[in-house]
Amino acid sequence: MPAKMPLSLLLLSLCAIANAQSGLTDEQQLGKRLYNDKNLSANRNQACASCHSLKVVDGKAPAFVDPDNIKKGTPVSLGSIDFATGTLNAPSAAYAKFSPPFHWNKKEGLYEGGQFWNGRASDLAEQAGKPFLNPVEMAMPNKWAVVSRLKEDTAYIKLFFKLYQLDLAAVPHIKDAQFLQPTPAAVDSIYLKITQAIAAFEKSSLFSKFNSKFDFVLAGKTQFTAQEEQGMKLFNGKAGCSGCHISQAVLDGQGGFVPPLFTDFTYDNIGLPQNVKIPGNPSPNLGLGGRSDIRKLDPDRKELGKHKVMTLRNIAITPPYGHNGVFATLEQITRFYNTRDTLGSVPDNSNPDFSVSGWPRPEVGKNVNHNELGNLGLTPAQEQAVVAFMKTLTDDYPEWGNDPLIPPGTPSPFADGNN
Ligand code: HEC
Ligand code: HEC
């Protein structure tokens, strides 16, 4: 559990941080180009941005998820090669930089941090190396093929030389390779730089804006409605959400503080039902405990079915919800937390009574959390208040909020100054 601090102290230290909204560094510019480049996928039709979009949807903030999922309610993304789909919902790439490297927290006795629902990439750079080569995502056959695509764009040749003194032009294009020719030595170093540049871009303040209504209220610049206020109290109190979706500022490890991130980056099994609407109806995702490395360290299977606690920042604009996208709305998932153990049961989520009069059983029955959730005793009005509170976590509030106290263009009270 991260250290907590009083609000007054938080405001002082955060305001002291320079409100630097400066441009991107050269490396971040390169990362941005790579992030948006469809040419780096098998059919030249998909970029990171395809599934983690930077575009504004419905006048709100960019959601950093797959716009197709938002528009059509589909749980999973289409890959570069037609009809290939994965089995997990694309999480937001926003605020992901705050997840610490994957590690075992000895004091708490639990795993923390990492990227992906099961934390298998330790950090952003390691994560960024995966989608290019994932057959259900960008589907490139190997690193050399990715580097060959880079060579097709002279801007990359210049940038890689300028920034890293790496000569793309000297690496043969894979289509000119001889049969069984070994991969040129430079490919690994170039590929590593691709991932580091993307990670640098994801660390820019574009991805971590801290300019939601919640942030402006925290800074004392505007006010919640009565319902939002009630929702926050429930979130931190009776509903117990803040036990995992931490609503207080945290230490940044460098003497400063980070505004609330609404996650503690740990892993839990909240008893999510299987989503039978995922193409191919794949078998349950075993999460953290399904990883072969964790399996070896986990003879009692205590990590089975656990997935990463995701941030709730921008949550209102990133449906559907949960690692398999089984919940269509915030109302539904909140009702699930409240009544998982009390509502009754339905066979699966294609049943019209799903969430109305029952829930299916958990997709992984082991390690389901019965201490903190499942029977919260909230009234329907209280559920709605919690949802109203979560809706205050959407960024770019000055642009969409129509709040006379926070006119368009108002900078974040907590810009982290980290570009
Ligand atoms: C076809 C859609 C698709 C594409 C393309 C894609 N992603 Fe993802 N991304 C996903 C899905 C699905 C997950 C969750 C997978 C998992 O947890 O195993 C994910 C997870 C992530 C995460 C982890 C977030 C967290 O909080 O754990 C980050 C960061 C990310 N992607 C960045 C990228 C980058 C960078 C690229 C381009 C190199 C990229 N993605 C390309 C679908 C996509
Ligand atoms: C014991 C820890 C814990 C508590 C308490 C908790 N959550 Fe979560 N939350 C999680 C985990 C873990 C996930 C991801 C679970 C998964 O997908 O399997 C999650 C996911 C979510 C998501 C979906 C995130 C996404 O990106 O799809 C929402 C929304 C959410 N929680 C809201 C709440 C609310 C509201 C409460 C209080 C009523 C709450 N949570 C209480 C651990 C917790």
pLDDT tens digits, 142-155:
999 999 999 999 99
Residue closest via CA to ligand 2's atom 33 equals 241
Distance 375 CA to ligand 1 centre (A): 32
**pLDDT value of position 180:** 86
Nearest ligand to the C-alpha atom of residue 131: 1
Respond yes or no on whether the N-terminal peptide bond of residue 282 is cis (omega within 30° of 0).
Answer: no
Ligand 1 centre from 279 Cα, in Å?
Answer: 19
C-alpha–C-alpha distance, residues 388 and 234, integer Å: 11
State residue 272's pLDDT score: 98
* 362-401 tens-digit pLDDT: 999 999 999 999 999 999 999 999 999 999 999 999 999 9
pLDDT of residue 17: 38
Residues 174, 177, 179, 183, Cα dihedral to 10°: -70
Q: Which amino acid is at 374?
A: G
* CB distance 269 to 306 below 8 Å: yes
96 lines ligand 1 (CB under 6 A): yes
Question: For position 198, what pLDDT does the model report?
Answer: 98
Q: What is the pLDDT of residue 60?
A: 85
Rounded average pLDDT per 10-residue block, the chain, 419 residues = 45 39 86 98 97 88 90 92 91 97 97 98 98 97 97 97 97 91 96 98 96 97 98 98 96 88 98 96 95 96 98 97 98 98 97 97 97 97 98 97 97 70
- Percent above pLDDT 90 for the chain: 86
Q: Is the CB of 48 under 6 A from ligand 1?
A: yes
How far apart are alpha carbons 238 and 120 in whole angstroms?
33
Ligand 2, atom 14, lies closest to the CA of: 309
Q: Which of 359, 280, 323, 285 is nearest to 75 (CA)?
A: 323
127 alpha carbon – ligand 1 mean position (Å): 8
CA neighbor of 308 nearest in space, from 98, 128, 53: 98
Residue 1: the pLDDT is 35
Q: First CA to last CA across the chain, in angstroms? A: 27
**Ligand 1 atom nearest to CA at 129:** 38
Mutate which of 74, 88, 112, 241 for ligand 2? The one with the most ligand atoms within 8 Å of its CB, which is: 241
Instruction: Give the C-alpha separation, 284 to 89, whole Å.
Output: 13
Pocket test for ligand 1, best of 37, 51, 306 (most atoms within 8 A of CB): 51
| Rg of the chain, C-alpha, whole Å | 22
- Measured in Å, residue 53 CA sits from the centre of ligand 2 at 22
- Compute, in angstroms, the gap from residue 226 CA to the centroid of ligand 2: 24
| Centre of ligand 1 from the C-alpha of residue 131, in Å | 7
Instruction: Quote the CA–CA distance of 326 and 64 in Å, as a whole number.
Output: 19
CA 120, 121, 127, 129 torsion-angle sign: negative
